[in-house]
Each structure stands twice: as C-alpha cells, then as structure tokens.
Structure 1
Amino acid sequence: MPKTLLSDRQRHSHVVRRIAAPVQRLPKEFVHLHRTEAVLLTNWSSLGSGRYAVSARWPRGGLFGDSVQLLLAQTIRQSCLLIGHAELSVPLSHQTLMEWMDFSVASDFYDPKNKPDNLFILLTFRPNNPRSLRVDLSILSEGRLVAESLLDFSWIAPGAYRRLRGAHAEVPWGGAPVPSPVPAHTVGRSHADEVLLAPVRVPGRWELRMDVSNPALYDHRVDHVPGLVLIEAAYQAAHAVTGPGRGPVRVMSTFDSFVEFDAPCLMEAVVLPAKEEGTVRLEVTGTQNGERTFSVTMDCPK
C-alpha cells in the first residue's frame, strides 16, 4: 500500500459508471441505522461469483465530523451489512455479530489533503458456514487502493439471540452515570463529548466511557457496546500513548464477548515489539468483570 487496482477498475468499468450516481434513497434499514445522515453508501451492484461493488460518499463535517477512523470503520460496516441483507438473504430481523476485523490503510490515508469524497468498494463474500461469512474488502479512491479489510460476521435469529443474551437482552438505556473524560486533546479529539476514555490511577489504563448520547457512535438503542465504539476507544488509547500524527496503518480487532452496560470496562494499552521497522505496535485490551472482552492491535508509524 498504496498500490493501484486498475485491472479491477477497468474490468468493472460498466459497473462503476452504473453505480456512480447515487440512488434516490438507499434503505437505511439495510445498514441498521435510524439516522439518514449516518448512511455513507449510495449504491451497489452484483459482479457475480460472490463479488459486489458498492459506492460511498464521505461528507464534509456532519455527524462523524472529520474523523477518518470513524468514517472508514462505518464504511466497512455498512458495506457488509448492505450486501448481506440486499443480496445474500440475511434476514433484517436477525442480529448480526462481528467476530473479528482486520484492516490496513495507505500510509498517507490520514493526510487531510487526501480525504476522499467518493469511494468505490469491492467486496468478496465466502461462506464459513450457513450463518457466517468471511468478507474480503478493498476501498478505492480515484482508482487507487487506499484501504483493505478482512473480517468475519455472523447472524442469529431473534429468539436464539434473546436466549443467548438472557438478562442482558433488556438493559436500562442511558441511566448509568458516565465518568468524566480525559482531556480531549490527549486522545486526538476536539470536544469532551467525543472522548471515550476516563482516567484511572494507573498510567496506560482507562475506563471506557459508555456515553449513549453520542449520536455518531450510538445511532439507536442497543443491548451492548457496539464493536465500532471499542475500535474508536482503542484509537483514542493509541493516540494517548504514541502522540499525534501517528494514525495506525494496520488494525487487528478480536471481539471475545459482549461489553455490557452494567459494569465498568477497563482498558489497557501496551507497547509490543514491532514486526516492521519504522512502526510502533500497540495492543489495547478491554476487561470486564475480570474477563477479556476485546483486543485491538495497531501498527502506527514512528
């Protein structure tokens, strides 16, 4: 990275032209959102043999502000959900679960001058089993590959999901106190209401702030902390440790269990030996009730 995918671009040029213009309205239900302004995708098309093309438009400002990390993670999430529901017959009533997600970006991806407006996304879906898919995803801007992702997601019927969640299927919404944030600038954010980390007494550790009033992270009522919230919290922890100007070029996320709203989730960031020269590897883990709930490993440039 960066590299070009001109052969793919040329092979599917007719599809690019066909999906370049936005549809009148992409159903927000396909991407599990209530707010229309949160929908980043504009159209999609099947390429055959388990391959699909999606177009997206990143707004200037708006709900996600200028957070490239949030826009990228939402683009990946929305693209998978859209194709799952619109093309692969995943029922809208089923709960979808992200099991793990890896992605990498071009080294200049975070440069504000390179922030794209329109994106072209190629996705390949392969079944793991009847209720789980592996997705290989490439994001292009003007024919240049700017990001890649590999992830697994599965889905579960409503009744089975309620049995799985038990007492956590119905949780109080917004009633729990939210601890005060660390200073916004220390985690690369502009405003306190964007901060997901609360200080604790140990350096390199924080408590996760579960602030459901943040519309960019909590579009609608859910029964557990979404995976994208955990990835955003890991970004902020990495910024606190490595400092500004070191956006991760590779992110590897594993979700071990649900992060619940009824108990503190503690986070810790540890610097690991880097596998590549010129990078810093950081592992951010979350722990709740004494058990690891998620892990995000990031490679950041020195």
Structure 2
Amino acid sequence: MTTDPVATLGFDQLVPPMMVNRRSPREVFVTDHAPAGAEGFAIAVRVAHDHPLWSDQRTHRHDPAVVIEAFRQAFVVVRHAYLGVPRGTPTAVQQLKLEVKELQAFRADGTTPLRGVVKVRVTRTGDTLDIAGDFFVGRVLAMTLSFGSILFPHDSYREIRDYQRARRTADPGAAPKAQPIEPELVGRYDRSNVVIGPPAVRRNQFPLVVDRSHPSFFDRDYDHVPASLLIEAMRQSALRSAADSGLRTGEAALTRAELEFGIFVETDVPATCAVSATGQQGTVTASVGIDQADVRVASGILELTEVKP
C-alpha cells in the first residue's frame, strides 16, 4: 500500500526561517513538505490566528491573501530542497494568478490558526520557473494559484539593479512622504498595516506608503519594494475605490487576481497606484496599475467580494 504523502505532513513545527528566506519565526508559515507524485510537491502551512498583519481584518475571516505569502514560501522550499537552486539566488515574480474557490474555507473563530496544504507543480525552462498549485483546507479546495518567475545570476541581477536605479533616483524636491489613510477605509484596524495614502492629484490615484521598519513586508533586507507590499497596495487602493461602487470595504475579501510585475520598484522614489473599479451585487472588479517615475511597473485585475456572515 502506498502512503499518501499529504496524510503524513505535520503542522506542529515551523521550518527554520532561513529555509523560506525569512528572519523572524513569526513570519514563517511552512511546517512540513514532501514530494507528491512524479512532478509534484505538498507543503503544509500554518498561519497564526493573531498574526499582526494577516489577522488584521475587519471581515473576521482568515485573509485569503496570506496564501500568496504561504505559496511564495512553498516555492522557496521546493526550488531549494528539490530543484537544486542555490540559496541566495535572486528571484523575481513576473506574473501571479489566484482564484478563491471556497471562501467559507477561510472562516475564523479568533483562536484557531489557518492550516492547509499547498500542492504544487513546477515547470522549469532555463532561468524561468512556473509554479501552479492548489490550496486545500482539509479536503476543501480553497484556492488555486500560480506564479511565473525568473532566476537571476548574481552578476546579472546587480547589473540590472544598478541600471534601473540610475534611471530612477530619489528627487530631493519631491513631495513629502505620504501618510497612511484611516485603516477602516481599507478594512484594517492597525494603521501600521496601511500602505496607501490619500490621493494628492487624482481621486483614484493613491501614493504608496513604504515603511522599511514594517516587520512583515520588510522581514529581510530588500533593495526594492517587495511584491507583497505592492499587492497589498493594489488591494487597498481597490478597496478604497470600490467603496464608491457600494462595496462595504470592511466586509470584502480578495477572491481573484491576475497581476503582472515589470521592473523593480525603488523604496525611496515616490510611487502611486491608479485604480478603476466597477461592480454590482457585492462583487467589484478593479483594474490597477502602479507607476513610478512615469513608468508602469506593475498592473492587473483584482476581484473583491463581500463576505457573507
């Protein structure tokens, strides 16, 4: 009899932070992993019910967006533990897709962590890695996700960053750094988790708030704004704009995304997120784009859905 690898995965012990490119154990979600089939892998994840960022939700649900970070960590484990990619190899996500299949799987009681298994499949072509997977809570398929990413040789990465940095340097005469808008406007309680400020020029164009001391977004050193913060800025901009379409932002969850990331985003050069939202009957679709120094650096579509009691 063949043992199902998923059935043997444990949720009690988190892997060491360095295994998922993190510093703080608080930011580690992977607990176990194993090969699953000829080309697949299964990764067990656990997210604390009181995580300072991912539990800070007015929907009283586990945040579906946390699975993006869990998926990223699963990707790190797979490429290093099974695919032979050396640790420290620079990597960048170029495309991200997700779709929530069962929102009720994210119900929370305020004391129980979110536990699930990410089943992934990886395709490697040269320096590109495509990973697709399913997130299960128990036996329920809660979400599907996929990343398209690229691996950089260290020398190439440094050349690219030096070139991009030279073309987008900080402007001493730029406007003062944006201050975060009120957290309830984007479904948060904690102001430190708000990553957009009030529009300064156009109504639906929100400046990014980049706080390098944030314990989750900047758990390790970055020479650019991490994708997790960009995604959150897109979501918060969409939530704020969706309120004009009648969506109750304190009761809305991210249920679908199709995003593309271009060049890296500098941490000390102003950036804004432009959004256009339309919707009806409790669901809003938002077109979003992040601009820096007159360049569109990330864009895509987000879907927000009101959570039913």
Query: After TM superposition, is the score higher than 0.5?
Result: yes
Which of the residues 295, 298, 301 maps onto 1:297?
Answer: 301
Task: Describe the superposition over 1:70-96 as per-residue Cα deviations: whole angstroms up to 9, x where unpaired.
Answer: 522211111111111111111112101
Provide closer, same or farther for how the CA distance between residues 295 and 18 of structure 1 changes in structure 2, counting only shifts above 3 A. same
Which of the residues 45, 53, 73 maps onto 2:68?
Answer: 73
User: How big is the shift at 1:21?
Assistant: 4.9
CA distance in 2, matches of 1:12, 1:299: 40
Which of the residues 4, 24, 30 maps onto 1:14?
Answer: 4
CA distance in 2, matches of 1:70, 1:36: 19
> Equivalent residue for 1:164?
160
Determine if the alignment matches structure 1 residue 119 to structure 2 residue 116. yes
Task: Describe the superposition over 1:108-149 as per-residue Cα deviations: whole angstroms up to 9, x where unpaired.
Answer: 35543598632111001112x221111111010110000110
Determine if the alignment matches structure 1 residue 190 to structure 2 residue 189. yes
Instruction: Name whichever of 97-106 and 28-37 sits farther off.
Output: 28-37
Determine if the alignment matches structure 1 residue 29 to structure 2 residue 18. yes
3-state DSSP of counterpart to 2:34: strand
Determine if the alignment matches structure 1 residue 248 to structure 2 residue 254. yes
Alignment of 1:195-206 (within 5 A): 195-199=194-198, 200-206=200-206
> Equivalent residue for 1:133?
129
- The amino acid of 1:187's aligned partner reads V
Task: Work out whether residues 258 and 293 of structure 1, in 8 Å CA contact, stay in contact via their aligned partners in 2.
Answer: yes
5+ residue gaps in structure 1? Answer: 1-10
> Equivalent residue for 1:232?
232
Provide closer, same or farther for how the CA distance between residues 12 and 192 of structure 1 changes in structure 2, counting only shifts above 3 A. farther
Identity score, percent: 21
CA distance in 2, matches of 1:118, 1:110: 10
What value does the CA root-mean-square deviation take over the aligned residues? Answer: 2.7
5+ residue gaps in structure 2? Answer: 57-62, 243-247
Which of the residues 43, 47, 56 maps onto 1:54?
Answer: 43
3-state DSSP of counterpart to 1:94: coil
Task: Work out whether residues 64 and 255 of structure 2, in 8 Å CA contact, stay in contact via their aligned partners in 1.
Answer: no
Which of the residues 13, 16, 38 maps onto 2:27?
Answer: 38
3-state DSSP of counterpart to 2:185: helix
CA distance in 2, matches of 1:237, 1:224: 20
- The amino acid of 1:246's aligned partner reads A
Task: Work out whether residues 212 and 218 of structure 1, in 8 Å CA contact, stay in contact via their aligned partners in 2.
Answer: yes
Task: Describe the superposition over 1:248-274 as per-residue Cα deviations: whole angstroms up to 9, x where unpaired.
Answer: 211111101111123110111102579
> Equivalent residue for 2:59?
none
3-state DSSP of counterpart to 1:108: helix
User: How big is the shift at 1:247?
Assistant: 1.5
Task: Describe the superposition over 1:154-199 as per-residue Cα deviations: whole angstroms up to 9, x where unpaired.
Answer: 2112122111111667999xxx974211111111111221110111
CA distance in 1, matches of 2:185, 2:12: 38
Task: Describe the superposition over 1:275-295 as per-residue Cα deviations: whole angstroms up to 9, x where unpaired.
Answer: xx8732101111111110001
- The amino acid of 1:207's aligned partner reads P
CA distance in 2, matches of 1:16, 1:110: 20
CA distance in 2, matches of 1:263, 1:136: 33
User: How big is the shift at 1:34?
Assistant: 0.9
> Equivalent residue for 2:83?
88
Count matched residues: 285
Task: Work out whether residues 69 and 232 of structure 1, in 8 Å CA contact, stay in contact via their aligned partners in 2.
Answer: no
Task: Work out whether residues 105 and 137 of structure 2, in 8 Å CA contact, stay in contact via their aligned partners in 1.
Answer: no
Determine if the alignment matches structure 1 residue 99 to structure 2 residue 94. yes
Instruction: Name whichever of 255-264 and 137-146 sits farther off.
Output: 255-264
Instruction: Name whichever of 51-60 and 61-70 sits farther off.
Output: 61-70
CA distance in 2, matches of 1:138, 1:195: 29
Alignment of 1:209-220 (within 5 A): 209-220=209-220
Provide closer, same or farther for how the CA distance between residues 13 and 58 of structure 1 changes in structure 2, counting only shifts above 3 A. farther
CA distance in 2, matches of 1:272, 1:237: 13
Instruction: Name whichever of 90-99 and 13-22 sits farther off.
Output: 13-22
Provide closer, same or farther for how the CA distance between residues 248 and 93 of structure 1 changes in structure 2, counting only shifts above 3 A. closer
Task: Work out whether residues 225 and 259 of structure 1, in 8 Å CA contact, stay in contact via their aligned partners in 2.
Answer: yes
> Equivalent residue for 1:258?
264
